[in-house]
């Protein structure tokens, strides 16, 4: 019988025995420091690319976290605004109710219509009752304001000072809002007389309510029509 062949070692690797021993022997012969440097360089580059590459998952997560943080800040600001609004809501309601009450009071004292001829007759009658001689009363060009129209009258008169004071008091007690200004007064007779007669002019201003957008917003659909718009009765006499 022939003997079994025996494997021999060659310079390229083991011809028999454990391959792992051969691998370990060759690895142990490699320079360790250069290998570690290459490995660390590769790991560092991979980490750098992971942090700086625009398409990396790391930067995507950072951008997502930043967006969530900014959204949370905006939501917190909105929550603060809503809370502040809720705190002031009741105070705002009270102010609105007070404003509505004042508006109704104003509308009650200022009519939505003004008969120019009737007001001129009323003023003339009041002047004659206190002894004032009415030289003339002439309506002037009206002035439109935001909520009302101002209708001035040029009033020329003759009379004593005390009579003028009484007339002004009677005008102040009319059931209308009346304003008197722009006085031009001079003596009409001798200044040495016991009662000095005066002559002059003044402006008497009457007012009418002309409505506002708030009135239109407050109307309920299907409700009764609003009163005749101010101004349709102006100069009707």
Written as tens digits, the pLDDT of the chain (237 aa) is: 555 555 444 444 554 456 677 666 666 666 667 767 777 777 776 666 666 666 667 677 777 888 888 888 888 888 888 888 888 888 878 887 887 777 677 666 667 788 899 999 999 999 999 999 999 999 999 998 877 899 999 999 999 999 999 999 999 988 888 899 999 999 887 777 778 889 999 999 998 887 665 555 444 444 444 444 444 443 443
Taken as a whole, the chain contains a residue count of 237
* Residue 112: how many other CB atoms lie within 10 Å: 19
d(CA 169, CA 101): 28
**Per DSSP, what are the bridge partners of residue 187?**
198
Q: Which two tokens stand for residue 152?
A: 């001035």
**Would you say the pTM of this structure is higher than 0.95?**
no
């Amino acid at each position: 019988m022939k003997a079994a062949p025996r494997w021999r070692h060659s310079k390229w690797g083991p011809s028999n025995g454990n391959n792992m021993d051969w691998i370990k022997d060759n690895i142990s012969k490699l320079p360790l420091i250069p290998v570690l440097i290459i490995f660390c360089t590769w790991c560092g580059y991979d980490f750098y690319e992971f942090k700086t590459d625009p398409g990396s998952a790391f930067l995507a997560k950072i951008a997502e976290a930043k967006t969530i943080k900014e959204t949370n800040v905006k939501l917190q600001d909105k929550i603060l605004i809503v809370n502040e609004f809720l705190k002031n809501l009741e105070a705002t309601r009270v102010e609105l109710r007070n404003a509505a009450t004042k508006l109704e009071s104003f509308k009650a004292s200022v009519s939505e219509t003004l008969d120019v001829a009737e007001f001129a007759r009323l003023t003339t009658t009041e002047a004659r009752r206190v002894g004032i001689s009415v030289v003339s009363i002439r309506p002037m060009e009206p002035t439109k304001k935001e909520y009302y129209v101002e209708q001035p009258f040029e009033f020329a008169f003759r009379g004593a000072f005390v009579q003028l004071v009484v007339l002004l008091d009677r005008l102040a007690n009319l059931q209308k809002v009346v304003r008197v200004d722009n006085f031009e007064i001079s003596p009409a007779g001798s200044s040495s007389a016991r009662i000095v007669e005066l002559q002059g002019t003044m402006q008497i201003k009457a007012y009418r309510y002309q409505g506002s957008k708030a009135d239109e917003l407050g109307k309920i659909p299907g409700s009764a029509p609003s009163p005749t718009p101010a101004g349709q009765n102006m100069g009707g006499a």
